[in-house]
Amino acid sequence: MDDWTHDIPLLTLLLGLSIVLSVLTKLGLERLRLPAAIGWLSIGIALRAADVQWHWLEDGPREVFGFLSTLGVACLLFRVGLQCHLKSLIAQLGRAVWIWLGDFTVSGLIGFGTAYFALGLPLPTSLIIGTALTATSVGVSVSAWQQRGRLQSPTGQLMLDVAELDDISGVIAMSVLFAVLPLLHMDSGDAIGPLLMRTAGWFLIKLTLFATLCYLFSQFVEERLTGLFQRMADSAEPLLLIVAANLLIGSLAELLGLSIAIGAFLAGVMFSRDPEHVRIELSFDTLYWFFTPFFFIGIGLGVDTTQVVPSLMAGSVLCLAGMIGKVLGNGGPAFAFSGGTTAVLLGFSMMPRAEIAMIIVQRGVQLGDWAMPADVYGAMVLVSLVTCMASPLIVHTLLGVWPPPVDGARR
């Protein structure tokens, strides 16, 4: 094992600097009504560019940033699961299911087709891109709806329902995809089809069993466990025990061949059913805002700055594909149910790609260049940056022109 203890002072400096910059960036971008993820990605890219010049990030510090990035994924997806409110979602699916089906199918096919046929990328890379472009970071657009006072309108609530389905399908699709991708990389000839089916089937069985256990835990154990945690102390210990449960469930999922991401997501869903989950979410915010920036900083650190210019063309094409996929995928079904105004508002509101999309891309990087080459990785980072900046500006303008009525909001 390499001795990198001499790097600890520099590593401590970089971590402290990253935390300060992440906080300042978040505050600054919130004033501009832009997502903090844009700034966090930029911090990582800047650190990578500085490393190219001065070579200060050796193997040890990179491992530390990688570990913090993993914790960031666990915190991020735990919070996504915590916000799912499955019972409420199931009770009001209605139109949301049909819009989500169009959203998931059209955006995924357009993303895959653009990568595979237009850009000529390999099949594994194209599948990763197609899956990533099905995801939505609706929290980016929510600020525009809140500012216009329209989030509680039926259209705003429909958007949230579709986004929750997007989160769930994105995490599941990611898990299945990365179970079979290594097989696509194998040169197995005609035998690859049955092998893929067996691998995907076995993975889905494990995922179903794991999800069932999580559901049973949620229904019969979680409320008592949370109550026990609450009675143990009046300070932060209950929250820390819940976070520990999140990490344990995530690591168990990883050991079972699923992923920390799916485990953390299911852990959040488990705790979301409890009436105390709002208090849990508010208490969890501090840890969330501490660790989540390191996920995006880690993505930025992975961007090869020498590939930025070569990535521009592919990034521009994929940006266009990502925008068209969401506008058509959401807008088509929404137009059939609710008319043109709702279709346009939903389509542009669902355009941003940040958390789930970049988790999918990051997992591709972990497989190697055969799955996610450096220039394509840079292109997908560009997609995230552009869609996260463009969507709230467009939605804010559209809501000023076509404000949906608030009367009749469901929740």
Biggest CA-to-CA distance, the chain = 64
Inter-residue contact 211 to 169 (CB < 8 Å): no
pLDDT at 126: 96
Cα-only R_g, the chain = 21
Domain limits, the chain: 21-54+71-401
- Out of 15-24, 65-74, 93-102, give the one with best mean pLDDT: 15-24
d(CA 397, CA 323): 17
pLDDT at 118: 95
Average pLDDT, the chain: 82
Does an H or E element contain 84, and which?
none
pLDDT tens for each residue of 348-374: 999 998 888 988 999 999 899 999 998
Q: What b/e readout covers 178-203, taking b as 16+ CB neighbours within 10 angstroms?
A: bbbbebbeeeeeeeeeeebeebeeeb
- Out of 257-261, 346-350, 402-406, give the one with best mean pLDDT: 346-350
d(CA 67, CA 255): 17
Model confidence at 90, in pLDDT bands (50, 70, 90)? low
Tell whether the model's pLDDT for residue 307 goes beyond 90.
no
More confident residue, 408 or 199: 199
- Out of 12-26, 92-106, 255-269, give the one with best mean pLDDT: 12-26
Model confidence at 388, in pLDDT bands (50, 70, 90)? confident
d(CA 241, CA 239): 5
Inter-residue contact 137 to 77 (CB < 8 Å): no
pLDDT at 411: 42
d(CA 43, CA 385): 13
Got the DSSP string for 214-281? HHHHHHHTHHHHHHHHHHH-SSSHHHHHHHHHHHHHHHHHHHTTS-HHHHHHHHHHHHHTSTTHHHHH
Does an H or E element contain 366, and which?
helix 355-367
Pick the CATH number of 21-54+71-401 from 1.20.1530.20, 3.90.550.10, 3.20.20.210, 2.40.30.20: 1.20.1530.20
Distances (CA, A) of 156 to 29, 90, 226, 355: 23, 17, 32, 20
pLDDT at 264: 86
pLDDT at 111: 97
Got the DSSP string for 378-403? HHHHHHHHHHHHHHHHHHHHHHHHSP
Residues of the chain above pLDDT 90, percent: 25
pLDDT at 360: 92
Q: What is the mean pLDDT of residues 292-311?
A: 83
Q: What is the mean pLDDT of residues 233-260?
A: 76
More confident residue, 185 or 26: 26
- Helices and strands: H and E segment counts in the chain: 17, 0
DSSP state of 152: T
Look at residue 135 and give its three-state secondary structure.
coil
Task: Please state the pTM of the whole predicted model.
Answer: 0.82
pLDDT tens for each residue of 31-75: 877 778 888 988 988 888 888 777 777 767 788 888 898 888 888
pLDDT at 410: 44
More confident residue, 411 or 139: 139
